[in-house]
Amino acid sequence: MAGESSGLYAGWMPQCFHHHFRRHDPILHGVIRRVGPYRLKPSRDRFGMLVRSIISQQISVGAARAIRGRLEELVSKQGIKPALIAALSPEQLRSVGLSPQKTSYLHDLAAKVQSGDVRLTRLARWSDEEIIEELIQVKGIGRWTAQMFLIFALGRADVFPIDDFGVRAAITRLYGLDEPPGRDALAAVGERWSPFAAIASWYCWRYLELVRNQAPAAVGYPV
Residue 80: phi and psi, rounded to 5, are -85, 95
* Interhelix angle 197-211/143-152, nearest 10 degrees: 90
Q: What is the DSSP letter of 215?
A: P
- Report the SS3 class of residue 192: helix
Cβ neighbours of residue 70 closer than 8 Å, sequence gap 6 or more: 95, 96, 97
Within 13 Å of residue 202, how many CA atoms lie on the same side as its CB?
Answer: 29
The neighbouring-strand residues paired with 31 are none
Question: Active-site positions?
Answer: 164
